[in-house]
Structure 1
Amino acid sequence: MASDEDLQVYCQPCDEEGTRLPAHGYCTDCKEHLCKTCLTVHKKLKSSKHHTVLDATSMPKVLQQPSTSIHTSQSDNLTTPCCKHQQEMIKFYCNDHKKLLCSVCVTLEHQPTSCKVDYIPGISCNIIDSKEYQIILKTLNTTFDYYQQMVEDVKEMTGKSNRSLKDALEDIKKFRIEINQRLDELERQVVHVVKVAEQENNSNITAVETSCEEVTNSLKISSEKIKQLNTSKQANALFMELKLAENIMKDVEKTALQFSSYDVKEHHFQANETILTKLKTERSLGTLTQIKYRQSSHEGEICVKTSKDKSRCYITGMTLLTPDLLIITDYDNYAVKMVDTSSQSVSDQLQLDDHPWDITRVTSTELAVTLPNTKKIQFISFSSNKLIKKHNVKVDGVCVGISCYQGKHVVSFVTPAKLQIIDMNGTILTTIDGKNIFKSPYYVTCNRSSIYLSDREMKTVTRFNWQGDVIGSYSGMCTPRGISLSDDGSVFVCDNGRNVIEEISEDSSTGKVVLENLNDPYTVGWCGETKKLYYSCRSVKAKYANFLYIYKLS
């Protein structure tokens, strides 16, 4: 290659990138000398293929400077190296593959015959403050906010996790204390037995010593007296004393015989090997179970107040028919309402003669509603987005909560406090008396294996099997209200005393708050398909009471 001084004309685009190559042609439109590679690309690009290009013999022999233009000023800014060809600068854009290219990329992989390639300075003139600029900037900001929020959410969940670990350590210490207390109690029992035996031994030896001392004193006195009488030759007195001594000896023999039968036992401690074996075979003091925290996002609200309503809404029950169809009971307005979740509006409303409390799906076309004041269960059909009142069944108490599974209704009663399983005709199959188990069972839900009952007075959610046996219980809440089963068997519970919705594990052993800082949450419904949680509020403020709130959980 000739030196820079010998090159009278050279490729101007390459020269801008720091490489000086001899020119093999000249574009009269761009007023630029081009090397062999740039000349080839120039003829193929859509934006320049119709330009007039002179070959090496016809081109000007003196370097021509193009007139100042947007094209020229912007081409000077093309200084970003290509990620594949570090010596080449990015100058082109492929519309088909959405990629930024250098001239080598265009020549080798994105030839204008197969790709729509544009020269960046030729298409960038209108990009300033353009719609594309605004859209991308907004998207970047939204994505930035999303990841910022993600960091905050992870920090919050990590904080909860660390707090739960701290609580777990406290529980471990408490459990160890309980074990120590039980072992101390067992030790006290054995020590008490030892001390009683020791006291008995001491008491016996004291009795023996006292008796023996009395006998030896008596024998000593008798012996001394006999010797004295014998020395003084008092025959009569000696005779009588000897006979008395014979009687004393007989009594002494009896006492000796008693002492000879006295059994002094030795003791040996035999450890309870079951306890020791159990401790040896156990591999852990307990297990640390992991609770998955759900992430939540607010999806909006649905106003369920209609022109037919005379009061603010009091939503006491809800059930999902489809992801787009939710049925609710409005106690104060004597109404059952069909809510279209896609259009976020009430699509139908059925007026009743009594206050409805809870509602459940019975079949694909039938619902059941509890009417506590008249002690009835009202059946309602739904088809073509219409609710129609059907027959009712009389029950023997103030019925509130209701849930249905495979033709069996589980109904909770507050007066008296009980739980009944009844068939479609109202025949009672099983009755569970509240007694000390529950007192105010306002809501109930069930699945194949379990029945869950929330009790605002006992502050518990109790789990029963279908035979009526208690198989689990969760406490620690303030005022549990509406409950709903999730698709994985856990139970969502509204606790309006703490303004939270808590998720309880299927076995009722653990729980975690999924939504907090709410406004008196009362009833809840879960859609497994969309992972959306719906809840209502029992509030004196219409801005809360007249709406259903939607959150997406993941």
Structure 2
Amino acid sequence: MAVPGKKATKQFTLSTTSICSEEDLKVYCQPCDRDGPRLPAHGYCTNCSEHLCETCFTFHRRHTLSRHHTLQDKTSMPQTMSPANPGQLDSFTKPCPKHNIEMIKFYCHDHSALICSVCVTLEHSATSCKVNYIPDISGETINSKEYQNILKAIIDLTERSDTTLKDKKKCFAESNKSLKDVLTDIKKFRTRINRRIDELERQVVEAAKVIQNDNSKNLTEIETVYGDLSKSLKSFSDDIKHFNTSKKANDLFIELKHAEQMIKHYDQSVAKLSESEVKTYTFQPNKAISSLFDKEKSIGILKGTALNLHTKSRQYSHKEKICIKTSRDNKSCLIAGMTFLAPDLLIITDYENIAIKIIDLSEKSVLVRQCLRLDNWNLTSSSKHEPSFQLRQNYLPLPGSKPWDVTLVSQNEIAVTLPLRQTIQFVSVSRKSLTKKHNLKVDGNCFGINCHKDRMVVSFSRPGKIQILLIDGTVLLTIRGENIFKNPLYITSNDNCIYVSDSEMKTVTKLNWHGEVKGKHVCTETPLGLSMTEDSSVFVCYSTNMIIEEILGDCTKGRVVVKDTRRSNALYWSTETCTLYTSTRSYKENDTEDNNYIHILKFL
């Protein structure tokens, strides 16, 4: 057998006379030529554009993937090897990711997968999948619409990448500029602290100097008193001694009596001076200041605010709409919530018709509809005479309550708010079914809901509040207050923040996951549906104004991205496809037809 990638030897030591040297054969079996000795051609496959030996010819008739190919026998086959034919399959150079020694040669339409022959045998058999041999269908791609769309998508993505790079450069430049200001602010703050500490130090030093001056003054006064006393006592002593020596009895008598009175007076003065208090001092630091520096680990923190620099405003290139009304809908639709299950599956809640619907966006033009009726959530057969629509729809009535908002909990599970029942209903979903699971009773009329990782954020109306819950219903945090929320109807979130629209306060409020308000955008109209973008800005639609606005992540300002649209109730932004999906809403009896459509806006 020939080694792949090397030319087979010209002579083979085999017993059969049907094997010839490559010099003798002008038309030979191409599959065998790649892996072994060159064998004479017995026929030709027009689909594969290959000559086949007798064994390959027979196998070609029987194999699932090639049994419908057009074969020519030895008499009708081409008698020369076309320059395009030799080594055609050698153009397969992409190895299979699962089977590295095999090349990708087939395409499975059901799984949108490029596969090898081993994959076909093990995972994509003809009984379960629609599989095509790539050469059979690849010719259709030359200058095809798919080719043009992919090129356009590449150009669009390249432009968006260039724009994003420019924006990020501006962001980093702005960030570095802000950090220069931060360093200046740190020095200013430290200077202010030093100045205050110096001021407090001067106060204590001045107090100590005042005491020192008082001590000096008091000591001087005491020394003066003691000096005068000492002089007076010495004078009395001298006089008494003199009168006693000179035997002047009268003078001595008078002086003794006088001295006696003076001794009593001086004795009181000495006693008074001895009782006067003199203190020693120690420095006792301010406990508040001392403990502050002991406990604090930083002089301050660096607080970041997301930048939202755009070289140009978002603009949509085209729009289309999809009808979502079914024959089972008794009323005009009112789409209150929407989310994505997969890139081509949009889940919506129809408030007026009390239903959940799944729309297959990839098959808008395919007349396929599958309806499931669930009476008390038990499966019953659907009508065989159900008319077709330009989309595939699955339909799940929710008896007894109108569904408002919906969020994706996992790849095959959603959660729907039922405000009138004060319940969150969990539903299992797939491309062909909707099945009720457990429900979660909550303590209020729950409207907006958004699940992020293992946490749900739910809004409640009158009284207005927000709750952060685990999937099992454990309440982690409740945020309430008339100055914050009154009638919050929609919520969206990501790793860093939560946005809430309040129709009564006419605000879009930004919170962190600790419940702290980080920003608030005051709207001129009544805000409803929300959907966050990749850069933490948020789209918002209004019930009374025919616009869709994009509010920057810091809530400082908003800009109109869609004008003159129908009033909208719910929307969803797909970052992957740069597409905005919106519902429409009208209460006028003669103007409700457009409520039955989802509008799709493709942005540049």
Normalising by the residue count of structure 2, what TM-score does the alignment of the two structures yield?
0.43
Normalising by the residue count of structure 1, what TM-score does the alignment of the two structures yield?
0.46
